Structure formats: structure tokens, C-alpha cells
Structure 1
Amino acid sequence: MQKISTKTIVMTGMMTAVLAVLSQIQIPMPSGVPVTMQTFGVALCACVLGWKMGTASVAVYLLLGSFGVPVFAGLSGGLGTITGATGGFLIGFLPMALLTGLFTPSKNKAGTILCSAAGLAICHLLGALQFMLLMKMGFVESLMLVSVPYLLKDVISVVAAFVVGAAVRKALNAANILTYA
């Protein structure tokens, strides 16, 4: 079993904190699903830390929130948020982080684009499905209400996370704070 360095643990915690802060930047919407910076934050965790620790960072965020720490959008937290109408998106952050970070760092742009798109699609699918079930509506209606209006913003968020993440990774590597095997 490979040991995890103190630097890695600290960076994972720091990125969890960044995600929690970015989650508070929100614009309420009539659907009840706010426009937030969470998608950017999840993708940034994956872009900076890679798939293993990026996913771990998001998992810590979700655990903190599920225990009631107000880290989710609107300073919310608790199992009620995860099991509520927008909870599917929160659950979808795990596969999104995993897939977005899978090729990070990598020169395989096609793999990066495909995996990131798949991660975002899974996140939206889980979000729309949970919303559909809890609000007792059709799948297409749910998609049109809580997924489609946010897709362009989320695609831009993921692309921006790759740009910002590459710069952060470069600076951290230069300072010998973050290294990849």
C-alpha cells in the first residue's frame, strides 16, 4: 500500500476548502437549482490534484456536507440536501471529478475532453433523475428544467478549470508542493 504524503493530504484539504468557498457563489433560479461555481470547483479539484486525490477532495466535501457542515450552495448541509431535489448533482460530482481528473496531467487532449464530457453528463443525468423522482415529473421535463439551461455554463466552467488548474499545477510543481508520479 502506497503512503500518502503530508503535502498530498494538505493539498487535498485545501482543494476541499476551495470547493466549499466556490459553492457559496450562487445565483438563485426559479427551478430551485441555483447557478453556482460548484462545477468549476469540482473540475478544479480534479485538474489540480488528478483523479485520485481530486475525487478524494470532492468526497471529503460531500462527507462534510452530509454531516451538516454548511459547505453546499447557500451555506446548506446535511443529508436532507443530498437526498433533496438538487442532491443528485452533488452525488454526480464524484464521477465528474474522477473522469475529469483521469487524464490530468496528460497530453491526451481527446481523452481529456471525452472523459470530462462524460463526467459532466453523468453529473447532469444523476441530478435530473433525482429531481425527476422527487418532483414527480417526466425525465425530459426534468432535463429541460434543471440540466439543459446549465449545460453551457458548466462546459465553460470545466474548460476554465482546466486553464486555471494547469496554471495552479505548474506553480505548485515549481514550488515542489505538488508532484505527480
Structure 2
Amino acid sequence: MKTSSKTQSIAMIGMFTAVLAVLSILQIPMPSGVPITLQTFAVALCGYCLGKKNGTLCVALYLILGFVGVPVFTGMTAGIGKLFGYTGGFLYGFLFLAFFCGLGSQLKNHAVGVLVGVVGLLICHVLGAFHYSVIAATGFGPAFLLVSVPYLVKDVLSIIGALVVALVIKKTLSKSGIILNTKTAA
């Protein structure tokens, strides 16, 4: 990798981490303690735009920033408590979502790319529901019904929307000579 492409990758990871942080601020609180946010869309966008490696690095950087106290999580919160609170499983589950969306971005068939992203989403939801069940001292089934099922349709639509937006972003940047993910079929 050339120095300029390394620099471009670092800049894009930083920029998409900022996008993820900004889209995480807005939330609609829910009685379960798991709010409705645009995080799923933003994480999927990172994966679809940056690919499996850089998209996952972007989410890892986001988690590290929040862990050390930068208020990047929902409602401008931060800290280790968020990673071990009710939503912690979803937060580290985002790594899988970004990775699988990045895998999906490498496919020419966009419908299959969405399905690969949905695999990452399901892993994220299972981790989130399991983590919630441990913290709330409840069974996995009730936790899944409470903190996962109500969000699945929104999250699948977020993945589809993220792929559409990623295709537009990549096409637009490509016209100006910037290639985000060289293994992606646009």
C-alpha cells in the first residue's frame, strides 16, 4: 500500500468514525433501556463504504473513544459503564456488523451483500440480547423478545439504506478519483 493510500485510509476511518459518533447522538429512549438510534445505519455504512478491515477498525476506534470517556455513545454518553450496561452487547456486536457489511460490499450482487450484512446484524442482536439477559438477570428468550425483536425491521431497513447510500458515496468519490474500497464492485 502506498503512503498516500495509507493516509487516505486513515483519513476515511477517522471521518467515518466521526459520522458514526454523530449519528449515535440522537436517541429515542425505550422502556427496555435500549434506545432507538441511527447507530445500526452508521455501522453498516462504515462497513459498506470502507470494507471489512477498515470498517471494523472504524467501529473499534469508536468503541475505544467511548471507552476512554469521549462522549460518542447514544445521548453523548461514554465510559466503561456503557460497555458493561444494558446495551454493551450491541456495542461490541457492532464489530461483527461492520465486518459482515464489509464482506457484503465485496459482492457484485447487492441483494446478497445485504443478506451478508444481515448475518452480521443477527450476530449483533444475539450478542446484545445475551448481554442484556446477563445484566438484567433474565432468560435469553425474554431478553431477545424485549431488546431485539422490536428493532429487527428497523435494523434490516437500516442495512439496506446504508448499502444504497454507500453505493452513492463510492460512485461520487470515484468520479473525483477517491476509491474507498478497492475490492468493491460498484
TM-score, reference length from structure 2: 0.92
Preserved CA contact (<8 Å) 2:114 2:160: no
Q: What aligned pairs does 1:12-27 form with structure 2 within 5 A after superposition?
A: 12-27=13-28
Could you tell me which residue of structure 2 aligns to residue 53 of structure 1?
A: 54
Q: Percent identity?
A: 51
Question: Residues 13 and 69 from structure 1, CA distance in 2 versus in 1: closer, same or farther, beyond 3 angstroms?
Answer: same
Preserved CA contact (<8 Å) 1:23 1:36: yes
Could you tell me which residue of structure 2 aligns to residue 39 of structure 1?
A: 40
SS at 2:104 equivalent:
coil
Instruction: Report how far residue 109 of structure 1 moved.
Output: 3.5
Question: Residues 37 and 127 from structure 1, CA distance in 2 versus in 1: closer, same or farther, beyond 3 angstroms?
Answer: same
Measure the CA separation in 1 of the matches of 2:131 and 2:168: 35
Instruction: Report how far residue 110 of structure 1 moved.
Output: 5.2
Measure the CA separation in 2 of the matches of 1:156 and 1:145: 19
Could you tell me which residue of structure 2 aligns to residue 101 of structure 1?
A: 102
Instruction: Report how far residue 125 of structure 1 moved.
Output: 0.3
Instruction: Supply the AA of the counterpart residue of 2:176.
Output: A
Q: How many equivalent residue pairs?
A: 181
Question: Residues 95 and 103 from structure 1, CA distance in 2 versus in 1: closer, same or farther, beyond 3 angstroms?
Answer: same
Instruction: Report how far residue 112 of structure 1 moved.
Output: 1.4
Q: What aligned pairs does 1:57-136 form with structure 2 within 5 A after superposition?
A: 57-109=58-110, 111-136=112-137
TM-score, reference length from structure 1: 0.95
Preserved CA contact (<8 Å) 2:104 2:114: no
Could you tell me which residue of structure 1 aligns to residue 164 of structure 2?
A: 163
Could you tell me which residue of structure 1 aligns to residue 176 of structure 2?
A: 175
Preserved CA contact (<8 Å) 1:8 1:178: no
Coordinate RMSD, CA, aligned: 1.5
Instruction: Supply the AA of the counterpart residue of 1:30.
Output: P
Instruction: Supply the AA of the counterpart residue of 2:9.
Output: T
